[in-house]
Structure 1
């Protein structure tokens, strides 16, 4: 997740201070990826160091405001135009867990799969319920409600992701069942009987 680009996108709408950026970021994404103020200000410091934001005075309450620069705006637009790189996928804890569970002593990988499937299905149901609420908000407030539209898109991505995860878990379980059946059907190799030994001849043949 690119926090820096998310903050730049919010700053393009005008100067903001740290807590305001955190609140707007979480509102736009439905708190799916919560931030703390420390993360926000650390990222702002790096953006300021890179010339992408500058401090722009204070508001009436004395909060330091940050504004996007031309370099920051160019970086943001490049980010929007550039596809997300999938050549180095992020580490996925579930994939790593199943990979490590294969052959692990005392671990039944099918139990791991079934436990995860229950959690995944529950998450999918929760996301679907939230999606219905988001659709109602969009229908009520119209496309002008940017946060509601953004949250709806995030929810739909999460639903697609959990649906794919559930299908993958089903596939993993089927794969394990097929492999177990194949292993059971294959007879264990039996050692070959030793080759008969030829006794060495002793003496010479008797002539008649």
Structure 2
């Protein structure tokens, strides 16, 4: 009799188990998952895909920047004029801004390794940064201009006999003087900017206003 009772109760237990399974895992659960994947959550997954692409692009840019900076360092150690020629050739504003502080520091030394001719060649590219909306970029450029003006101010300010030895240097001096006059078209606007940028612009303007 016990076996018969077990035979009668077992199907009921099995049926109950199936019922509970159905409650926990509905038959149409796969369809619901599919519908959720096709819903708003799935749609916005495109955002993460685009974000990943942006990060890949940024990694590529930083890798390229680092590679160019390594080249710039090698050229700087070899010859400053080679570095300037490289900066002009690649036309990379970011690399130029990274290198300008080093060139500026050299101009402040008693025996700079950067010639007047190098500064003449570099000035047009530096001028293009003068309209930047970023103050740190403007400060880097103004520091460089200020160092150039102070370094060759005795030669730039004279209207008499050239103070430089060679004809090529004298020619570079005349070109630099003319470029500085044209360069400072944005000067009056920068002088009105509050803070460090405005103060530096006023200091440079006090020099350049004396050029004839």
TM-score bucket (shorter structure): under 0.3
Structure (1/2) with the larger helix percentage: 2
With a CA cutoff of 8 Å and minimum separation of 6, indicate the structure with the bigger relative contact order. 1
> Which TM-score applies when normalising by structure 2?
0.25
Q: Which structure shows the bigger proportion of residues in strand conformation? A: 1
